[in-house]
Amino acid sequence: MNLYLSEKKLSEYNTILNIKDLIANELISQTLFPVQTSDTGEEVLQQMQVYHVRHLPIVNHEQLLGVISEDDILIHEIKEAIGTYRLSFLRPYVIENEHLFEVMTKMGRFQLTVIPVIDKEENYLGVITMEDLLQYFATHFSFADPGSIIVIESARGHYSLAEIARVAESEDITILSSFINSIPDTNRIYITLKLNRQDVAGFKATLERFGYEVSASFSEMEYHDGLKDRFDSLMSYLNI
């Protein structure tokens, strides 16, 4: 079994996405507009309803002043201008050339539905919405590509993506995308892989020989096989 990762495969893994497409400036919404300090809380709430968001940036003369939330408005007089409000979010933002993962981190940290994007001179450029972010993931991270998904559990110190990639190549499988998350209060992690093949039984068996535990797998083939098994069981029961 050849467990050396070829240069061609390594190149594929490193260039799945164009790096330029992963920066904040490329994800700016073309439809959502900021509000101003002279707008009333009622007007801002109406705008939030139109865009289906719970936050909006406040901008005056291309300068980002802050982010107002739905909760900020509801604890104040909605007929008053939002410039008189005390905001729970002062100035959360991302710089135009920050990476997509940093955008996600800040949106998650502040639990935002939108996050403003500014340039190096702190001029407002636009916003990234949670909806746009999810849509980008759906279209650029191989979620829609045919194949299967497996979830591997491993000790953090034992995990090696290079080793897993070599095992995949030995089974003529391409890893389309991968995600890692920690298991709380342990030193173990989950590695979620999107693969280009439906039949991954051999890959799972090889991983287990290398000490990895396959916690779950999902594929259209397994789904239809499961349906067929249940149908056959039902037919056998009815025949009785």
DSSP string, 174-197: -EEEEEEEEPTTSSEEEEEEEES-
Name residue 62's beta-bridge partners: none
pLDDT bin (cut points 50, 70, 90) of residue 13 is very low
What are the tokens at 62?
């291309």
Size of the chain in residues? 240
* Alpha carbon distance 234, 240 (integer Å): 10
Residue-wise pLDDT for 93-138, tens only, equals 999 999 988 999 999 999 999 999 999 999 999 999 998 888 887 7
Write out the CATH class of domain 145-235: alpha beta
Q: Angle at which helices 201-209 and 161-170 pack, to 10 degrees? A: 130
Residue-wise pLDDT for 51-77, tens only, equals 999 999 999 989 999 999 999 999 999
Boundaries of every domain in the chain: 19-137, 145-235
Write out the CATH class of domain 19-137: alpha beta
